[in-house]
Structure 1
Amino acid sequence: MFVHGAFVDPTSWDGVVADLRGRGYTVVIPDNPLRGPAYDAAAADS
């Protein structure tokens, strides 16, 4: 699982995701709402 940091969105992983999916990996990129550690962790875990 890749989670973006502040001031970006999941598309920042597009190049890496394309490469990994091309190699047959399942890749999950949740949105990170940036509302605090507990909230963000729960959102990424769902």
Structure 2
Amino acid sequence: MAALIEQGITDAATQNVTNALVGAKLTKLKDAIRPLGRQTYA
């Protein structure tokens, strides 16, 4: 039982790190795209 709980905690931590990395990449993409959008719609 303890092993399952530890595995769950490890999986959650890994998921949090993955989400943080993906979120950072998405933020960079949005920042890169935003000026293009302003030019297009200005």
- Answer yes or no: same fold by TM over 0.5: no
Higher RCO (CA-CA < 8 Å; seq separation 6+): 1
TM-score (norm 1): 0.27
TM-score (norm 2): 0.29
Larger radius of gyration: 2
Larger helix percent = 2
